[in-house]
A and B are shown apart, each in its own frame.
Chain A
Amino acid sequence: MSDFAGFMIFLKKIKLLSSMAPAIRQQALKLKPYITMKDFLFVFRNDPAVMAGMSPEELQTSMKKWMDWIGGIAAQGNLVDRGNQLANEGNVVRPAKVVTDGPYIETKESVGGFIMVRAESLGEATEMAKGCPILSAGGNVEVRPIIRM
């Protein structure tokens, strides 16, 4: 079992970030130039409840899969921003300034985090998303071209 949130929580638990972040940063220096390439946002959606029952072993397996996937993207010079995880709590502000508690829509498809990648086309970015470990835990990845302003 693996998902993005589980990956992040595991990182916090074992404090591997200090060893992982520099590696990804170093690889990010090889980022391909923004000339013919385009940037894409990967939006990760999953059910936060999935991670609740994960054992330490499952979390470790999950972390390894995420590291391999994101590290592979970075190694190709295609990682623009390793993004962030979003906390489960949240608000939605709607017209007439109505504020509702909780993250958006179905909690089963809550936005859990995002990263930004560089690719030749939407098709190529979509191929990259196919390697995301969230897919083996019932989650999904939305792939959207960035409009540079």
Chain B
Amino acid sequence: MKDFMFVFRNDPSTLTDRSPEEMQASMQKWMDWIGGIAAQGKLIDRGNRLNPAGKVVKPLLAITDGPYIETKESVGGYTMVRAESLDEAAEMAKGCPILLFGGNVEVREIDRM
């Protein structure tokens, strides 16, 4: 088996105008999805969410405010899973609720040292 990182990208503004009921429904979908991966013994690290605030440090120590590049595709969090192949990991990612809200999931293999 190999380890993979799921990088979640979305538009943070889509999260702000949700009702408590919508947020609860969304959280339930995330729990169901991640719980399903964990139930198969394939969840390595449930990861973290990232605060929308942030800085980018660039060459010559230039610092820009805010998260990286397009705010519409800001990195919102990550999870680490185990799969036989990149294809199997991508199949797992297809269940991610972020896809229902215009976000996407980058699937990258971890290079263990």
Interface residues of A (CB under 8 A from B): 8, 11-12, 17, 21, 41, 43, 45, 84-87, 89-97, 99, 103-105, 109, 111, 122, 125-126, 129-130, 132, 135-136, 138-149
Residues in chain A near residue B21, CB distance under 8 A: none
What distance in Å separates the Cβ of B21 from its nearest Cβ neighbour in chain A?
20
- Give A149 to B45 CA distance when docked, in angstroms: 13
Interface residues of B (CB under 8 A from A): 5, 7, 9, 48-51, 53-61, 63, 67-69, 73, 75, 77, 86-87, 89-90, 93-94, 96, 99-100, 102-113
Closest to B59 in A: A135
User: How many pairs of residues, A versus B, come closer than 8 Å at their CB atoms?
Assistant: 135
- Give A148 to B46 CA distance when docked, in angstroms: 11
What distance in Å separates the Cβ of B56 from its nearest Cβ neighbour in chain A?
5
8 further interface pairs, Cβ-Cβ under 8 Å (given A86-B5, A91-B90): A43-B68, A90-B109, A126-B57, A141-B56, A142-B54, A147-B49, A147-B50, A148-B48
Residues in chain B near residue A95, CB distance under 8 A: 99-100, 102-104
Tell me which of A17, A85, A97 contacts B99 (CB under 8 A). Answer: A97
What are 5 A-B contacts defined by CB distance under 8 Å?
Answer: A92-B106, A93-B93, A95-B103, A109-B69, A147-B48
- Give A145 to B77 CA distance when docked, in angstroms: 11
Given contacts A122-B53, A135-B61, contact A146 B109 (CB under 8 A): no
Q: Are B90 and A99 in contact (CB under 8 A)?
A: yes
- Give A64 to B110 CA distance when docked, in angstroms: 22
Q: Are B96 and A142 in contact (CB under 8 A)?
A: no
Residues in chain A near residue B90, CB distance under 8 A: 91, 93, 99
What distance in Å separates the Cβ of A70 from its nearest Cβ neighbour in chain B?
13
Residues in chain B near residue A138, CB distance under 8 A: 59
Q: Are A91 and B86 in contact (CB under 8 A)?
A: yes
Closest to A81 in B: B45
Residues in chain A near residue B50, CB distance under 8 A: 41, 144-147
What distance in Å separates the Cβ of B59 from its nearest Cβ neighbour in chain A?
5
Tell me which of A90, A129, A142, A147 contacts B106 (CB under 8 A). Answer: A90
Closest to B111 in A: A85
Q: Are B99 and A87 in contact (CB under 8 A)?
A: no
Tell me which of A11, A89, A139, A144 contacts B86 (CB under 8 A). Answer: A89
Q: Are A140 and B58 in contact (CB under 8 A)?
A: yes
